[in-house]
Amino acid sequence: MQIPAPDAHQCVIGVAIALPSHYAAQVRAVREAAGDPLAEVVPPHITLLPPTAVDVDSLEEVRRHLRDVAAGTSPFEVRLDEVGTFRPVSPVVYLGLRSGAEECDRLQARVRDRRGPLARSLSFPFHPHVTLAHEVAEDGLDTAARKGAGLTMDFTVTELHLYRHRGRPADHSGSRCSASEEGWDVVASFAFGGSLASGAPAGSQAPVVPTAPVVPTAPVVSV
């Protein structure tokens, strides 16, 4: 996982769609079987914005931007049941979307809108997925592919989440915190405004739902 190194006035954030808990447990079990050390550190998710360093002072602007994005988004259905891999370019096995990919693409494009606070380019073309194994030995990747072949996940996406990385940058000695400390905390959840369409008055905005920090939660890259 590529985590940018923030300066003293920055933090690292990401935006993602979290999987329902019962599906998350299934994916976590596959990652554990593959020997993936990030199985517990990086709970399952669909990345919308990879880890990105932003100024701490800009977080309120980021919240407003994500609130507006969510307010203009309607819930959509997702099905994950297609195992794929980024090998040999990257040692990743993943569960791909049979449906909902176009909606995810439109959503991530709005999150990264060039006029907004999260404008940035991507290292690779956007490809929505849930990681089953990342940077493990070949036999571990094969295990993930085999076990992932039996997974089918259907759910409705109704919100997006803002995450903040809690790992600290290297100190002058070059030491870093352990992987278990380098988790992600949920900063806020943003409900889709489209869910209000049937009964809400025109102009209603989706609420920002603050959440207390949780121990490691879904982040935001192909991990």
| pLDDT tens readout for residues 28-66 | 999 999 999 988 887 789 999 999 999 999 999 999 999
pLDDT of residue 1: 63
Q: CA-to-CA distance for 144 and 132, rounded, in angstroms?
A: 6
pTM of the complete model beyond 0.85: no
Q: Report residue 207's pLDDT band, with 50, 70 and 90 as the boundaries.
A: very low
pLDDT of residue 222: 52
Q: Report residue 5's pLDDT band, with 50, 70 and 90 as the boundaries.
A: confident
| pLDDT tens readout for residues 137-160 | 999 999 999 999 999 999 999 999
**19 near 158, Cβ under 8 Å?**
no
Which domains, and CATH codes, for the chain? 10-210 (3.90.1140.10)
Which amino acid does the sequence have at 79? R
CB atoms within 10 A of CB 217: 20
Where is pLDDT greater, at 128 or 210? 128
Instruction: For residue 170, count CB atoms less than 10 angstroms from its CB and return exposed for 0-12, middle for 13-18, buried for 19 or more.
Output: exposed
